[in-house]
Structure formats: structure tokens, C-alpha cells
Structure 1
Amino acid sequence: MDVRAADFDLNKCMIAENLGQCYFGPDCMHLPSLVPGRSGFVNRTIATILSRRSLARRLYSFLRSSRSATLCVLGRSLIA
């Protein structure tokens, strides 16, 4: 599936494609925890946090709100 060809509003959700499967919104935050290779403290910490769907959902909500606030403060518009 071509994510760019699909009719999704990138201002409202995050989209990721991995091995032909699309992930939307909070599921995109969970996706990095599924990727092997957890060498290093930071990688293991991120994988641990994102492997818990409830934490990934809360983090996604926070990041989405932070993005909107940052764009507002910078006076920039949303993705056209």
C-alpha cells in the first residue's frame, strides 16, 4: 500500500508502513518495539516503553499535542 496515495490526513494521525502492513496513530508508537536490535541503554529503554501499548498511546497523545502547540508558537501551518 502506498501511504502517499492513500487519503489520510497527516495532521490528525501518524502513519507507518512496515512489511506491507500500515500502522496508524498510536500503533505507530508501538512499532519500533517490534524491531529487533536492542543494543544500548537508550534503545532498550525506548523498546521497553513502547512495548507497552498503554504507554505508547499516552506518549502518542502527548507528542501529537506538543506538535500542534509547537506549530502554533512558531506560526507555522499544518501539512497541506
Structure 2
Amino acid sequence: MSSTSTKPEEPWLLYDGECPFCSAYVKLVRLRDSIGQVRLIDARDGGPELAELEAKGLDINEGMAMKYEGKIYYGDECIHVLSLLSTASGPFNSFNAWVFKSEARSKALYPFLRAGRNTALKILGRKKIDRPEVSPSA
């Protein structure tokens, strides 16, 4: 008997590694404890995941992204799914699960998170992520 099933794609989370809030969030959320192996990818390194996001017309500077079970979750959807997938152990994860398990709260609060990221980058003198479609050609 032959099997035609394919191995599921490993989930990934694409975030801004130079944003102190994004980096801290990715380290604190306990995704691996609940769903196993997840590739954490700094969007500043570029790569096929960033290109895949851009191909869908999504701007990494406007939201983090996660691909899970073949679907890309972006911005407020991403933070909502992360809260549902991560464990609720520890104070940070319990708070995160409580706040963002609601789609409405995720949608309402995400613009403030994005503004905080943009403000932090400006204060720290860091530029936004170079996007493949807008990068100057050589």
C-alpha cells in the first residue's frame, strides 16, 4: 500500500529581529511547548518566507506573520493565532492568552502594538525592513 500524503510544512514565524518588542515577544511566547518545532525567522535576513509574504501583497513593516498548517496569518490575525496556539503557562503567556484570544481585542489592539514598534525603531535609529519589491536594484 502506497501513501500519497505529504509531510506537513514546518510552521514559521516571521518578525523584526531589530524591534525589541517583537524579539522579546517571540522569545516569551511558548509556541514550541505547544505545537513543537517552529522556525523563528528574522525578516531582516530576507529569504523565501519574506518573499512569500510580499507575493501576497503583505508588508512585513505593518505586521508580523506566521505560516501554520499551510495558511499565512498576518498582523492581528497572527497575534490572535499565536495566543491560541501558545501555552498559558507563566504570567506573560497567561496575560497574552487572555488578551489576544479575542479576535476583536486583537484587531483593536494590534495598531497600538505596531505603533509601539515603529516608535521604538525611530528612537533606536533603526530603519524599517527592506522589502523585496521596493529594494533598490543593483
TM over 0.5: yes
Count of aligned pairs between the two proteins: 80
Q: Percent identity?
A: 32
CA distance in 2, matches of 1:69, 1:39: 30
Amino acid at match of 1:5: A
Structure 1 residue 71, shift from structure 2 partner:
1.2
State the structure with bigger RCO (CA 8 A, min sep 6), 1 or 2.
2
TM-score, L = length of structure 1: 0.78
Q: Distance in 2 between matches of 1:59 and 1:73?
A: 21
RMSD across aligned C-alpha pairs, in angstroms? 2.1
String of CA shifts for 1:12-70, please: whole Å, max 9, x gaps.
22211112111011101101232163334432322121111121123311110011111
| 1:24 paired residue among 74, 84, 87 | 74
Segments ≥4 residues shifted beyond 6 Å: none
Q: Which residue number corresponds to residue 37 of structure 1?
A: 87
Structure 2 length as normaliser, TM-score? 0.50
Q: Secondary structure at the match of 1:3?
A: helix
Cα pair distance change 1:12/1:33, threshold 3 Å:
closer
Which residue number corresponds to residue 3 of structure 1? 49
Query: Structure 2, unaligned stretches of length 5 or more?
Result: 1-8, 10-47, 131-138
Q: Cα distance, 1:77 vs. partner?
A: 0.8
